[in-house]
Amino acid sequence: MTHIVNRIHLVYLGLLPSLTTFFLVRRYGHGAPFALFIGGVIVTAVYLATSYSYMVLPSSLLASLWTLVDGPLFALAGRSWQAPAWTFIVEGFFIDAAALWLAILALCLVSPAPSRGQRVASFSLALIALASLLSLLVPYATEIWDGRMLRLGWLLVGVVETTAMLYRLLDNDNLVRSDVDRAGLYVAVLTVVWVIAMSAGMALHGAR
Protein backbone atom coordinates (compact mmCIF):
# COMPACT_ATOMS: atom_id res chain seq x y z
CA MET A 1 0.00 0.00 0.00
CA THR A 2 2.84 2.40 0.82
CA HIS A 3 4.39 1.73 -2.59
CA ILE A 4 1.05 2.46 -4.30
CA VAL A 5 0.61 5.74 -2.40
CA ASN A 6 4.17 6.78 -3.30
CA ARG A 7 3.51 6.03 -6.98
CA ILE A 8 0.29 8.05 -6.84
CA HIS A 9 2.29 10.89 -5.33
CA LEU A 10 4.77 10.83 -8.22
CA VAL A 11 1.94 10.88 -10.77
CA TYR A 12 0.24 13.72 -8.86
CA LEU A 13 3.45 15.79 -8.81
CA GLY A 14 4.01 15.05 -12.49
CA LEU A 15 0.56 16.17 -13.62
CA LEU A 16 0.32 19.31 -11.47
CA PRO A 17 2.42 21.56 -13.77
CA SER A 18 0.35 20.61 -16.83
CA LEU A 19 -3.03 21.08 -15.15
CA THR A 20 -2.02 24.38 -13.57
CA THR A 21 -0.50 25.77 -16.76
CA PHE A 22 -3.60 24.80 -18.74
CA PHE A 23 -6.01 26.53 -16.35
CA LEU A 24 -3.90 29.68 -15.93
CA VAL A 25 -3.08 30.13 -19.63
CA ARG A 26 -6.66 29.35 -20.67
CA ARG A 27 -7.99 32.02 -18.34
CA TYR A 28 -5.31 34.73 -18.53
CA GLY A 29 -3.22 33.98 -21.61
CA HIS A 30 0.45 34.92 -21.61
CA GLY A 31 2.30 37.91 -23.02
CA ALA A 32 5.34 35.92 -24.17
CA PRO A 33 4.22 32.45 -25.25
CA PHE A 34 7.56 31.48 -26.82
CA ALA A 35 9.45 32.41 -23.65
CA LEU A 36 6.86 30.47 -21.64
CA PHE A 37 7.39 27.45 -23.90
CA ILE A 38 11.20 27.49 -23.64
CA GLY A 39 11.29 28.24 -19.92
CA GLY A 40 8.43 25.89 -19.17
CA VAL A 41 10.01 22.91 -20.91
CA ILE A 42 13.29 23.40 -19.04
CA VAL A 43 11.69 24.05 -15.66
CA THR A 44 9.17 21.23 -16.01
CA ALA A 45 11.85 18.73 -17.03
CA VAL A 46 14.06 19.63 -14.04
CA TYR A 47 11.07 19.56 -11.70
CA LEU A 48 10.06 16.10 -12.97
CA ALA A 49 13.59 14.69 -12.90
CA THR A 50 14.13 15.92 -9.34
CA SER A 51 10.78 14.54 -8.18
CA TYR A 52 11.35 11.13 -9.74
CA SER A 53 15.06 10.51 -9.25
CA TYR A 54 16.06 12.28 -6.03
CA MET A 55 13.01 12.39 -3.79
CA VAL A 56 13.18 9.78 -1.02
CA LEU A 57 9.53 8.88 -0.53
CA PRO A 58 8.53 7.67 2.95
CA SER A 59 8.61 4.00 3.90
CA SER A 60 5.60 4.12 6.25
CA LEU A 61 2.00 4.37 5.08
CA LEU A 62 1.01 7.28 7.35
CA ALA A 63 4.04 9.34 6.31
CA SER A 64 3.35 8.54 2.65
CA LEU A 65 -0.27 9.65 2.98
CA TRP A 66 0.73 12.88 4.69
CA THR A 67 3.36 13.60 2.03
CA LEU A 68 0.68 13.12 -0.63
CA VAL A 69 -2.09 15.22 0.94
CA ASP A 70 -0.33 17.97 2.91
CA GLY A 71 -0.20 20.42 -0.03
CA PRO A 72 -3.86 19.88 -1.02
CA LEU A 73 -4.96 20.15 2.65
CA PHE A 74 -3.33 23.55 3.09
CA ALA A 75 -4.78 24.66 -0.25
CA LEU A 76 -8.19 23.53 0.99
CA ALA A 77 -7.89 25.14 4.42
CA GLY A 78 -8.31 28.78 3.43
CA ARG A 79 -10.43 28.50 0.32
CA SER A 80 -14.00 29.61 -0.08
CA TRP A 81 -16.52 26.95 -1.04
CA GLN A 82 -17.78 29.35 -3.72
CA ALA A 83 -14.37 29.36 -5.43
CA PRO A 84 -14.13 27.51 -8.77
CA ALA A 85 -12.82 23.95 -8.51
CA TRP A 86 -9.84 24.65 -10.77
CA THR A 87 -8.42 27.14 -8.25
CA PHE A 88 -7.84 24.23 -5.86
CA ILE A 89 -5.50 22.61 -8.42
CA VAL A 90 -3.63 25.88 -8.99
CA GLU A 91 -3.12 26.51 -5.30
CA GLY A 92 -2.08 22.91 -4.65
CA PHE A 93 0.54 23.34 -7.37
CA PHE A 94 1.64 26.66 -5.90
CA ILE A 95 2.35 24.98 -2.57
CA ASP A 96 4.06 21.84 -3.89
CA ALA A 97 6.02 23.41 -6.75
CA ALA A 98 7.17 26.47 -4.80
CA ALA A 99 8.18 24.18 -1.91
CA LEU A 100 10.14 21.87 -4.22
CA TRP A 101 12.07 24.74 -5.78
CA LEU A 102 12.76 26.34 -2.39
CA ALA A 103 14.09 22.99 -1.16
CA ILE A 104 16.33 22.77 -4.23
CA LEU A 105 17.56 26.33 -3.59
CA ALA A 106 18.41 25.44 0.01
CA LEU A 107 20.23 22.27 -1.02
CA CYS A 108 22.22 24.19 -3.63
CA LEU A 109 23.51 26.44 -0.85
CA VAL A 110 24.49 23.75 1.67
CA SER A 111 25.40 20.70 -0.41
CA PRO A 112 29.14 19.94 -0.68
CA ALA A 113 28.67 18.36 -4.12
CA PRO A 114 29.27 18.41 -6.98
CA SER A 115 31.33 21.63 -7.33
CA ARG A 116 30.94 25.29 -6.43
CA GLY A 117 30.38 26.34 -10.05
CA GLN A 118 27.76 23.67 -10.62
CA ARG A 119 26.02 24.59 -7.36
CA VAL A 120 25.90 28.24 -8.44
CA ALA A 121 24.45 27.20 -11.81
CA SER A 122 21.87 24.99 -10.12
CA PHE A 123 20.97 27.76 -7.68
CA SER A 124 20.55 30.25 -10.53
CA LEU A 125 18.32 27.86 -12.49
CA ALA A 126 16.19 27.16 -9.41
CA LEU A 127 15.87 30.90 -8.72
CA ILE A 128 14.82 31.61 -12.32
CA ALA A 129 12.34 28.73 -12.15
CA LEU A 130 10.82 30.05 -8.93
CA ALA A 131 10.53 33.54 -10.46
CA SER A 132 8.87 32.05 -13.57
CA LEU A 133 6.41 30.17 -11.40
CA LEU A 134 5.50 33.29 -9.46
CA SER A 135 5.17 35.39 -12.65
CA LEU A 136 2.71 32.87 -14.08
CA LEU A 137 0.63 33.29 -10.93
CA VAL A 138 0.60 37.11 -10.93
CA PRO A 139 -2.74 37.62 -12.76
CA TYR A 140 -4.29 34.81 -10.71
CA ALA A 141 -3.05 36.35 -7.45
CA THR A 142 -4.40 39.76 -8.46
CA GLU A 143 -7.86 38.33 -9.10
CA ILE A 144 -8.19 35.61 -6.46
CA TRP A 145 -5.97 36.58 -3.51
CA ASP A 146 -6.64 40.32 -3.47
CA GLY A 147 -7.80 41.16 0.05
CA ARG A 148 -8.01 37.51 1.15
CA MET A 149 -5.17 37.47 3.64
CA LEU A 150 -6.39 34.41 5.54
CA ARG A 151 -6.41 32.36 2.36
CA LEU A 152 -2.95 33.59 1.37
CA GLY A 153 -1.72 32.93 4.91
CA TRP A 154 -2.76 29.27 4.75
CA LEU A 155 -0.98 28.90 1.41
CA LEU A 156 2.24 30.40 2.78
CA VAL A 157 2.07 28.11 5.83
CA GLY A 158 1.65 25.21 3.42
CA VAL A 159 4.71 26.31 1.42
CA VAL A 160 6.85 26.52 4.58
CA GLU A 161 5.72 23.13 5.91
CA THR A 162 6.07 21.38 2.54
CA THR A 163 9.49 22.98 1.91
CA ALA A 164 10.78 21.64 5.23
CA MET A 165 9.44 18.18 4.44
CA LEU A 166 10.77 18.09 0.87
CA TYR A 167 14.17 19.35 2.03
CA ARG A 168 14.46 16.23 4.19
CA LEU A 169 13.21 13.99 1.39
CA LEU A 170 15.75 15.41 -1.09
CA ASP A 171 18.67 15.64 1.34
CA ASN A 172 21.01 13.04 -0.10
CA ASP A 173 23.57 12.96 -2.88
CA ASN A 174 22.42 9.71 -4.51
CA LEU A 175 19.79 8.76 -7.03
CA VAL A 176 17.00 6.96 -5.18
CA ARG A 177 15.41 5.68 -8.39
CA SER A 178 18.29 4.97 -10.76
CA ASP A 179 16.33 3.27 -13.55
CA VAL A 180 17.34 5.59 -16.40
CA ASP A 181 14.73 4.25 -18.83
CA ARG A 182 11.81 4.75 -16.44
CA ALA A 183 13.08 8.15 -15.33
CA GLY A 184 13.51 9.25 -18.94
CA LEU A 185 10.05 8.01 -19.85
CA TYR A 186 8.50 9.77 -16.84
CA VAL A 187 10.19 13.07 -17.69
CA ALA A 188 9.62 12.85 -21.46
CA VAL A 189 5.96 11.86 -21.34
CA LEU A 190 4.97 14.41 -18.70
CA THR A 191 6.96 17.19 -20.38
CA VAL A 192 5.09 16.49 -23.62
CA VAL A 193 1.84 16.54 -21.62
CA TRP A 194 2.88 19.98 -20.31
CA VAL A 195 3.50 21.27 -23.85
CA ILE A 196 0.10 19.96 -24.97
CA ALA A 197 -1.58 21.54 -21.93
CA MET A 198 0.09 24.90 -22.58
CA SER A 199 -0.82 24.81 -26.28
CA ALA A 200 -4.42 23.84 -25.55
CA GLY A 201 -4.71 26.59 -22.96
CA MET A 202 -3.37 29.17 -25.44
CA ALA A 203 -5.73 27.99 -28.17
CA LEU A 204 -8.78 28.09 -25.92
CA HIS A 205 -7.81 31.51 -24.55
CA GLY A 206 -7.46 32.85 -28.09
CA ALA A 207 -10.85 31.41 -29.07
CA ARG A 208 -12.68 33.25 -26.29
Backbone angles phi, psi at 152, to 5 degrees: -65, -35
**Cβ count within 10 A of residue 158:** 26
Q: Which residues contact 82 (CB under 8 A, 6 or more apart)?
A: none
174 DSSP assignment: S
Question: Whole-model pTM?
Answer: 0.78
For residues 183-190, give the mean pLDDT: 87
Q: Exposure pattern of 26-35 as b/e (b: 16+ CB <10 Å)?
A: bbbebeebee
Yes or no: say if 202 and 23 are a contact pair by the CB < 8 Å rule.
no
Q: How confident is residue 145, by pLDDT bands cut at 50, 70 and 90? A: low
- Taking only the tens place, the pLDDT of each residue in 7-64 is 888 888 888 888 888 988 888 888 778 877 887 787 788 778 877 777 777 788 888 8
